[in-house]
Every structure is written in structure tokens, then in C-alpha cells.
């Protein structure tokens, strides 16, 4: 059984985080524990984009960004995956440069040092050279950059279905079994 941590930053794309949390919470046969940390900006963006505070309703362990006693702040917590969704370029830059000023960046630092799975769902466009170099640094350190770029092979018809194409890819990258559209299947 897996231990998954989810971090939500203040980048636009709360729909991705909402869909991911909904799907993870249904994967009780694969996941023993889900922990969640959200930045203050993430809560504001969620409220703006989704007109609700439904992040409070998910059956997950919640931690504040200043809580360095949280189990995701230590390798002994044994989380095997951290998904930052959406991941702001500021957060990505701090992770790329080893700056652990809050629980999100500390958890990412721990996941990288323990050689576990870090997935950053980057949500920005266009990228500048600093963004690209930070993505390179995270990739070289063992992290996975998964831009929030939807696919359209499955002909999604709603914003939720479009967002699901990104979330389903993230679940695949996390090594979780997920029923979704498969190319050529």
C-alpha cells in the first residue's frame, strides 16, 4: 500500500488538484494514506476558480505549510510519492535550488534526497529560460516535470474531462492503476 502526499500551490489549475484528490480517495485498494498541504494562495485560487472550499471535504491528513513536524517533512515518514499540482514556477524554482522554506518545498527536498517519486505539474505559459533551467535541475535530481498540458485523443467534452487527461497521466506517472483512455487500445 502506498503513501501519497499532495501539495497544492497558488498557480492556476485548481481543477487538476480537485480531480486528483477525488481519484486518489477512490483508490483505497492501492493507497494506505494521503496527506495534503496547501499554500495560502492555493486556497484563494481554489475559491476563485471553483467557487467552493471543497478541499476541506476530502478524507486526507492535512498539514499547514509551516508545520515542519509533519511526517512528509522527513524521510522516516516513508511517503513514496509527492505530487505538486498545480506547481507554480516560484515553487518549482525553490525546489530546483534546494530552498526548503515551507512544508511543500521541504517535502519535495525529502522525496528527492530519498530517491522517491516527485511529480511537479507545472502550470505556466509561456516558459522563460529560468523556468526551463529549473525544470532541467529538478529532472536531473530525479523529479518528473509533467506540464498541465491536456490531450485530446479521447475527445473530452467538458473542462473536467479535459483536466482529467492531465490527472490520468499524473496517476500513470505515480505508478497507480487507473481506468482511463489508452492510445490504440
Query: 40 lies in a domain?
Result: yes
Q: Which residues, including other chains, have CB under 8 Å from residue 69's CB and lie 6 or more apart?
A: none
d(CA 15, CA 49): 8
Q: Give me the residues of the chain with pLDDT under 70, please.
A: 185
> Could you tell me the sign of the dihedral formed by the alpha carbons of 122, 124, 11, 57, in that order?
negative
Single pTM value for the model: 0.96
Query: 180 lies in a domain?
Result: no
CA torsion angle for 162, 173, 105, 110 (degrees, to 10)?
160
Strand partners, 81: 4, 117
pLDDT at res. 184: 76
- pLDDT per residue as tens digits for the range 62-75: 999 999 999 999 99
Query: 183 lies in a domain?
Result: no
Residue 46 lies in domain: 2-173
Query: 178 lies in a domain?
Result: no
- Give the CATH number for residue 25: 3.40.50.1950
Query: 185 lies in a domain?
Result: no
Domain count, the chain: 1
pLDDT at res. 182: 82
Query: 181 lies in a domain?
Result: no
Query: 34 lies in a domain?
Result: yes
Amino acid at each position: 500500500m502506498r503513501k501519497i502526499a499532495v501539495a497544492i500551490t497558488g498557480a492556476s489549475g485548481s481543477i487538476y488538484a480537485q480531480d486528483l484528490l477525488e481519484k486518489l480517495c477512490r483508490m483505497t485498494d492501492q493507497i494506505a494514506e494521503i496527506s495534503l498541504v496547501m499554500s495560502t494562495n492555493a486556497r484563494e485560487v481554489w475559491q476563485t476558480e471553483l467557487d467552493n472550499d471543497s478541499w476541506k471535504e476530502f478524507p486526507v491528513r492535512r498539514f499547514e505549510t509551516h508545520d515542519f513536524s509533519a511526517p512528509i517533512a522527513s524521510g522516516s515518514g516513508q511517503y513514496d510519492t509527492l505530487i505538486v499540482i498545480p506547481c507554480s514556477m516560484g515553487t518549482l524554482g525553490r525546489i530546483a535550488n534546494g530552498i526548503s522554506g515551507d512544508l511543500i518545498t521541504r517535502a519535495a527536498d525529502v522525496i528527492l534526497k530519498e530517491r522517491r517519486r516527485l511529480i511537479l505539474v507545472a502550470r505556466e505559459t509561456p516558459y522563460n529560460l529560468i523556468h526551463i533551467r529549473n525544470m532541467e535541475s529538478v529532472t536531473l535530481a530525479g523529479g518528473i516535470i509533467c506540464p498541465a498540458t491536456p490531450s485530446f485523443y479521447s475527445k473530452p467534452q467538458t473542462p473536467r474531462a479535459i483536466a482529467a487527461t492531465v490527472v490520468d497521466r499524473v496517476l500513470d506517472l505515480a505508478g497507480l492503476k487507473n481506468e482511463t483512455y489508452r492510445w490504440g487500445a
